[in-house]
Amino acid sequence: MYSFPAEATWRTSSYTQQQNCVEVADTPGLAAVRDTKNRGHGHLLFETPEWRAFVGSLKTDRG
C-alpha cells in the first residue's frame, strides 16, 4: 500500500473550470488527485507512469 505525504504541495490544473475542480500533487513515483471542493474526502493515488499516460491521452484527444 502506498502512503502519500501530508505536506505534499497541491496545485490546481490550469484547465480546471468552476464545475470540475481538481488538484494534483506529485512525489517521486506517485501522483495524487483530489476534489478541490471536498479536500477532506481523501485523494486517489496513481503511479507516475499511470498518471502520465492518463494526462497524455487527454492531450491527444484534444488535438
Cα–Cα distance measured from residue 52 to residue 24, given in angstroms and rounded to the nearest whole number: 12
Compute CA distances 24 → 5, 43, 44, 63, whole Å: 13, 9, 10, 23
With respect to residue 2, please indicate whether it lies within any of the assigned structural domains.
no
Domain of residue 54: give its range: 11-62
With respect to residue 22, please indicate whether it lies within any of the assigned structural domains.
yes
Q: Look at residue 63 and tell me whether its pLDDT is greater than 70.
A: no
With respect to residue 1, please indicate whether it lies within any of the assigned structural domains.
no
Say how many domains are in the chain. Answer: 1
Strands (E) across the chain are located at 11-12, 22-27, 30-35, 44-47
pLDDT of residue 2: 62
With respect to residue 46, please indicate whether it lies within any of the assigned structural domains.
yes
pLDDT tens string 15-51: 666 666 889 999 888 999 998 888 889 899 999 999 9
